[in-house]
Chains A and B, each alone.
Chain A
Amino acid sequence: MNPPKPYRAKLEDKIRLNERFVQYKFELVEPNELAFSAGQYASIKVSDLGERRSYSICSSPAIKHGFELLVDLQPAGVGCMFLENLTFGQEIELLAPLGVFTIVPDKAETAIALVATGSGIAPFRSMLFEHLQVAQDTRPITLYWGMRHANLLFWEDEFEELAQSFPNFSFHPVISQAETAWPLCRGRVTDCLSTHEQPSGIGYYLCGSTSMITDVSKVLLKNGVTEQHIHHEKFY
């Protein structure tokens, strides 16, 4: 993987996905190309004091002259406030790419399961673009995405489209506070994992809160999945 180096980028677009989540698009200024692996993140300078915050890159690595970040506005910390106050064209400083949370080239992983809650979905969007569209990975890839309410599933349409275009990709949204009419998985992602058959050979990638990672890992280990096939990135 490429070592991290400093970049300047400018805000190109801001998409308010719902009342809680915002997708920021940045165009690289200098250097004007960023090579990263799907799943890596960027460290953004968010104050004049030098404070930095880390955000997973949610765009495809195939896009070299820019990148996208997903931000959860709750809680409204220094990073959120900085990004929300950016004007279009305003420059930011970042270090990228960082992190090792990428889909490993392990021949023993004959299928992939991506498990996310909330904004933990960010690195998986990048991974899906890379592995389905670019690498044309034909292994079964399943995405489990947990949210409290169905109306917060901001990328639901995108993932449904991917599922239509790539027969080896399955998308399972999981709603913890579902309305009665919700027809799909409800409860926690662990409940949904238990509902669907989990054959051997699956590599599990978990991204979200520490408690989700702990709970899902416990279930997987209890079901015979070995630690080497449980990969995770904690979001804070």
Chain B
Amino acid sequence: MADPQVKQIGKYKVEVIRDKCIGAASCVAIAPKVFDLDEDQIAIILSQDGNDDETKLLAAQSCPTMAIIVTNIESGEQVWPVK
């Protein structure tokens, strides 16, 4: 049985739509090991595995312009934004 204390990593893949990003940086605040801002103040991905999947999804949901897409790698389904 999965250890409930161990948070899942690796099921979700995140990507940033640069044209939608306004540099609000809420994603950086929530998942700082996954997201950062580049010199243009646009979000970039540092690592897909820096934070657990739940935190990555929260970070995506916190984006005011829905500039972060979350995809379930196993099923290929887009998890966020909800279609």
Instruction: Mark A residues whose CB is within 8 Å of B.
Output: 4, 43, 45, 49-54, 95, 98-99, 234, 236
Q: Is B50 an interface residue (CB 8 A)?
A: no
Give bound CA distance, A51 to B57, whole Å: 10
- Cβ of B61 and Cβ of A52 under 8 Å apart? yes
Give bound CA distance, A43 to B64, whole Å: 10
- Cβ of B61 and Cβ of A54 under 8 Å apart? no
- Cβ of A52 and Cβ of B23 under 8 Å apart? no
- Cβ of A52 and Cβ of B29 under 8 Å apart? no
- Cβ of A95 and Cβ of B64 under 8 Å apart? no
- Cβ of A54 and Cβ of B80 under 8 Å apart? no
* A residues less than 8 Å from B29 (CB atoms): 4, 43, 98-99
- Cβ of A43 and Cβ of B30 under 8 Å apart? yes
Give bound CA distance, A49 to B64, whole Å: 14
* B residues less than 8 Å from A53 (CB atoms): 64
* B residues less than 8 Å from A50 (CB atoms): 57, 61, 80, 82
- Cβ of A52 and Cβ of B26 under 8 Å apart? yes
What's the minimum C-beta distance from B17 to chain A, rounded to whole angstroms? 16
Residue on B nearest A45 in the bound complex, by CB: B61
Give bound CA distance, A45 to B23, whole Å: 20
* B residues less than 8 Å from A45 (CB atoms): 61
Q: Is B73 an interface residue (CB 8 A)?
A: no
Give bound CA distance, A98 to B30, whole Å: 7
* B residues less than 8 Å from A49 (CB atoms): 81-82
- Cβ of A54 and Cβ of B23 under 8 Å apart? no
- Cβ of A95 and Cβ of B22 under 8 Å apart? no
Q: Is B62 an interface residue (CB 8 A)?
A: yes
Kindly identify which residue among B57, B62, B81, B82 contacts A54, using a CB–CB cutoff of 8 Å.
B62
Q: Is B46 an interface residue (CB 8 A)?
A: no
* B residues less than 8 Å from A236 (CB atoms): 22, 24, 64
6 A/B residue pairs, CB under 8 Å, sorted by A = A43-B29, A49-B81, A52-B26, A52-B61, A53-B64, A234-B24
Residue on B nearest A97 in the bound complex, by CB: B29
* B residues less than 8 Å from A51 (CB atoms): 61
What's the minimum C-beta distance from B29 to chain A, rounded to whole angstroms? 4
Decide yes or no: A43 and B26 within 8 Å by CB, A49-B82, A52-B61, A54-B64 being known contacts. Answer: yes
* A residues less than 8 Å from B62 (CB atoms): 43, 52, 54, 95
* A residues less than 8 Å from B57 (CB atoms): 50
- Cβ of A234 and Cβ of B80 under 8 Å apart? no
